[in-house]
Amino acid sequence: MLVGKNASGGIALGRALVLSPQEPTIEEGRALDVDREVRRYRTALEKSKAEISRLHGSVLEKLGADKAQIFEAHLLMIEDPELTDAIENSIRGEHLLATKAVKTAGDQFVSLFQAMDDEYLRERALDVQDVTQRVLRNLQGIESVDLTALTEETVLVAHDITPSQMATLSPKVTGIVTEIGGKTSHTAIMARTLDLPAVVGVKNAAGTIRTGDVVVVDGDHGKIFLNPSDADLRAHEKQREDLALQKKSLRALVGLPSVTRDHRTVHLEANIASPLDLQSVLHNDADGIGLFRTEFIYMDRTAAPSEEEQFQIYRSVVEKLGSKPTVIRTLDVGGDKHLPYLNIPHEENPFLGLRAIRYCLKHPEVFKPQLRALLRASVFGDLWVMFPMISGVDEVLAAKAVLEECRRELTAEGKPFRADLRIGIMIEIPSAALLADVLAAHVDFFSIGTTDLIQYVCAVDRMNEAIHDLYDPFHPAVLRLIRNVIAAGERAGITVAMCGEMASNSKLTGVLLGFGLTHFSMAPASILKIRKKIREASFSEAKVAAERVLALGTGREIEKSLS
């Protein structure tokens, strides 16, 4: 058995097809005719751009506009003057042959991304590799692997699978195994969209698994089984059938309200990182978007997105949601999310440093274009603005003052925006949770960010594997703070939501319901599962059970009582 990261859930069976990386030959030596080498490069570049454009059209037809944006990003990347100028300058200035110039410039950009601390940004190195490998193949006339002509159920195994390959998969592909990658990689994102079980980060997968091996992919638990016995194979097939029946039964909940047996209505919303996730939001019948993490649109680039670019992105999202609410969180950088072009100084403890609202208030040149874009997009749907990492009233007032300044500017420019825009804050710092009754007087809603709240309450670095067992969503102190925040919101008459990972933990659904939580926001794939829990629950019984849980002294006792 091999083990990796569970990137896309489900059980897949099939024969392995191990994709060997196509490594073009890199020509060494000195370019004697630099004009010829530049022409070779430009010809390969134009052919590559044409291929990406065709892929864009294919993905647009098969998966929709959201997923096709990956290839729009590839087009931007392949035309990026920093990359193209670096290649041509190497040919002309250093007399490198075209393949050597492309490889050298590509490696430099890949190294830049791979050196970044943030997982999402590290994953973008794959995009650079995809683009530069395509140019190199076209320089040498190497044809890409055709994945459309498979005739039997197949599990793809590779060091990694490029977005280009993902876009051209045959329906016969049942699962994916890669040696690198994480849950935010394009491979993982597209696997979830295609409902393909996937396990990533499997060490030496392409060296251990051979083409033709029978492979079982357990995407829920991140496990790979090689050449199982007939009995084990039948057991996995039965598991796959059971999961298919469960999914089918959950699909029956599409269109039904999330309401308890005693008529308590709950709103189940989705967390997204980009417009690429909208298809899954709609497919899983979310009641809206409870968290749009805007920092991801600042990634994959060398400068912050302009106001106009952001406006178009936000507008596209709220228009597709129609009358459903879209909660958009302002830029949350710092901590484990680094953007090199923002020049945030190195910090010994970045989770306690210059991040999120703290950074934005110190850098209005970054903050204001986003707020202006959000205000302008608000006229196209039910857009709510949320400020992250709030620790006290002063930050709320300061953020609202900048927003008001943007309102005045737009009014003077004759640009419309909604006057009734809802303003809210993340409750993810203990000081904010303790001051919830005071903060409630200044905002329209709270959203509890449990991922960071647990970290700060338990004094546990959530990135530190050595103390991961102390990161406890069942900790009674965490639950008591959450209960107090919800109660403060109820007293003030404002909406209280939860957008952290606890919202999708089905063991805690009843407890949170009993505390009075009415808005849960989670990964789109979890919505129907939690809807089922809500529809089976009784609010009156959940309130009693929640109080009983709070009487317990340890997280272990609480988790055991909820099993």
458 an active-site residue?
no
Instruction: Indicate which residue of 236, 458, 499, 519 is catalytic.
Output: 499
Cα–Cα distance measured from residue 446 to residue 429, given in angstroms and rounded to the nearest whole number = 12
Which residue bears the tokens 């990694």? 160
Answer for the pair 215, 14: CB distance below 8 angstroms, yes or no. yes
Instruction: Indicate which residue of 74, 186, 338, 519 is catalytic.
Output: 186
Cα–Cα distance measured from residue 273 to residue 181, given in angstroms and rounded to the nearest whole number = 17
Q: What is the DSSP string of 165-205?
A: HHHT--TTEEEEEESS--TTSHHHHHHHHTT--EEE--TTH
Helices (H), 180-335: 186-193, 205-208, 230-251, 278-283, 307-321
Q: In sequence order, what are the beta bridge partners of 386?
A: 329, 424
Question: In what order do the strands lie in the sheet containing 173-178?
Answer: 2-3, 223-226, 214-218, 11-19, 154-158, 173-178, 198-200, 5-8
Burial pattern 205-222, b for ≥16 Cβ within 10 A else e, equals: bbebbeeebebbbbbeeb
Which residue bears the tokens 């008591």? 480
- Side-chain-side CA neighbours of 101 within 13 Å: the count stands at 28
Answer for the pair 102, 45: CB distance below 8 angstroms, yes or no. no
For residue 335 the two structure tokens come to 């901590």
Which candidate, 37, 24, 133, 46, places its Cα nearest to that of 93? 37
Q: In sequence order, what are the beta bridge partners of 522?
A: 270
Question: Quick count: other Cβ atoms within 10 Å of Cβ 204?
Answer: 10
Burial pattern 121-157, b for ≥16 Cβ within 10 A else e, equals: bbbbbbbbbbbbbbbbbbbeeeeeeebeebeebbbbb
Dihedral over alpha carbons 536, 538, 543, 544 (to 10 degrees): -100
Q: In sequence order, what are the beta bridge partners of 2?
A: 224
Mind telling me the catalytic residues? 186, 499
